[in-house]
């Protein structure tokens, strides 16, 4: 087994394998829809979120004013396909209060990123992963999203902290990228790197680096992977 690859080598390999695949949060995505999707995707598959978003779209409820006007029971029914629909409707309503207090979604997302992250984390139902998704994909800020896919892939490549702490993983990955990437990398380019890196990790873990029965034979990272090269028997 070869030594663990550098993070930007992993990024290049992932881009080589998955650049052609579609991703739901590229720059042309509607910011409010991104925020709603980031909340609804908690503890479920994106396919289920797409069903809920389609129902909200059909009800003309994918803007903060229309969604705020919905009775609780109607909002719950619309987001039912995403699972835990009562909790998720409550989380959406808490987020809608934040949007209203900020003067609208554009004003909220234009806030200072440090302050915006703090506001998001202070909102019921929004944790670090959801907050960083909003920052990166809706507010176009250089926020690096960490998730279970990140820990699975990099753990199999013998990289990352021993713990499952979001903060520890984020600090480690940011420091490792900073050590490899030019420190003068401008904000937009850094945001693009973070956004694309997370997207590629998700795509890789959905299509190849699955929890069970991974497609190691098709993976360019296989020579460095502890999972792919573990002894048989």
Query: Is the residue at 219 inside a domain?
Result: yes
Q: What is the pLDDT of residues 154-208, one digit of tens each?
A: 999 999 999 999 999 999 999 999 998 876 677 788 999 999 999 999 999 999 9
Nearest to 172 by CA among 201, 150, 196, 149: 150
How many domains, in total, are found in the chain?
2
Query: Is the residue at 132 inside a domain?
Result: yes
The mean pLDDT value of the chain amounts to 93
119 shares its domain with 84: yes
49 shares its domain with 15: no
Instruction: Quote the domain boundaries for residue 39.
Output: 31-138
What is the C-alpha to C-alpha distance for residues 192 and 9, in angstroms, rounded to an integer?
16
Instruction: Tell me the CATH number at 173.
Output: 1.10.1670
pLDDT, position 184: 61
Query: Is the residue at 69 inside a domain?
Result: yes
Tell me the mean pLDDT in the region 137-155.
96
Instruction: Give the Å distances, CA to CA, from 128 to 38, 77, 79, 170.
Output: 11, 27, 22, 10
Query: Is the residue at 163 inside a domain?
Result: yes
208 shares its domain with 166: yes
Query: Is the residue at 43 inside a domain?
Result: yes
Residue with tokens 């663990």: 4
Query: Is the residue at 230 inside a domain?
Result: no
Query: Is the residue at 62 inside a domain?
Result: yes
pLDDT, position 230: 79
Q: How confident is the model at residue 232 (pLDDT cuts 50, 70, 90)?
A: low
Tell me the mean pLDDT in the region 42-46.
93
What is the C-alpha to C-alpha distance for residues 231 and 228, in angstroms, rounded to an integer?
9
Q: Read off the pTM.
A: 0.94
99 shares its domain with 197: no
171 shares its domain with 128: no
Record the tokens describing residue 69, joined without a space: 């006007």
Of 88, 113, 138, which residue is a domain's last?
A: 138
pLDDT, position 48: 96
Please state which of the ranges 57-71, 94-108, 174-188, 215-229 shows the lowest mean pLDDT. Answer: 174-188
Tell me the mean pLDDT in the region 73-101.
97
What is the C-alpha to C-alpha distance for residues 38 and 17, in angstroms, rounded to an integer?
25
What is the C-alpha to C-alpha distance for residues 92 and 110, in angstroms, rounded to an integer?
20
Check pLDDT > 80 for residue 11: yes
Instruction: Tell me the CATH number at 55.
Output: 1.10.340.30
Query: Is the residue at 209 inside a domain?
Result: yes
pLDDT, position 24: 77
pLDDT, position 35: 97
pLDDT, position 92: 98
Check pLDDT > 90 for residue 15: yes
Q: How confident is the model at residue 1 (pLDDT cuts 50, 70, 90)?
A: low
Tell me the mean pLDDT in the region 198-227.
94
pLDDT, position 22: 82
44 shares its domain with 73: yes
Check pLDDT > 70 for residue 62: yes
Of 84, 103, 138, which residue is a domain's last?
A: 138
Of 85, 120, 138, which residue is a domain's last?
A: 138
Our CA angle for 2, 175, 28, nearest 5°, is: 95
- Residue 80 burial by Cβ neighbours in a 10 Å radius (0-12, 13-18, 19+): middle
């Amino acid at each position: 087994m070869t030594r663990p690859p550098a993070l930007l080598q992993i990024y290049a390999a992932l881009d080589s394998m998955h650049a052609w695949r579609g991703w739901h949060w590229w720059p042309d995505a509607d910011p409010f829809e991104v925020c709603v999707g980031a909340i609804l995707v908690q503890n479920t598959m994106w396919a289920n979120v797409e069903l809920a978003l389609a129902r909200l779209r059909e009800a003309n409820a994918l803007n903060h004013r229309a969604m705020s006007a919905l009775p609780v029971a109607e909002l719950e029914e619309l987001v039912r396909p995403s699972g835990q629909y009562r909790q998720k409707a409550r989380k959406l309503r808490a987020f809608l209060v934040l949007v209203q207090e900020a003067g609208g979604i554009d004003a909220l997302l234009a806030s200072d990123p440090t302050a915006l992250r703090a506001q998001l984390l202070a909102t019921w139902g929004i944790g670090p992963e959801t907050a960083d998704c909003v920052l990166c994909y809706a507010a176009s800020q250089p926020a690096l999203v960490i998730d279970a896919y990140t820990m699975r892939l990099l753990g199999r490549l013998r990289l990352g902290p021993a713990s499952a702490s979001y903060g520890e993983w984020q600090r480690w990955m940011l420091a490792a990228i900073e050590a490899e990437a030019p420190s003068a990398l401008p904000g937009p380019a850094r945001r693009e790197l973070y956004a694309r890196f997370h997207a590629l990790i998700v795509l890789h873990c959905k299509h190849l680096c699955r929890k069970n029965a991974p497609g190691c034979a098709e993976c360019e990272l296989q020579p460095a992977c502890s999972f792919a090269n573990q002894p048989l028997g």
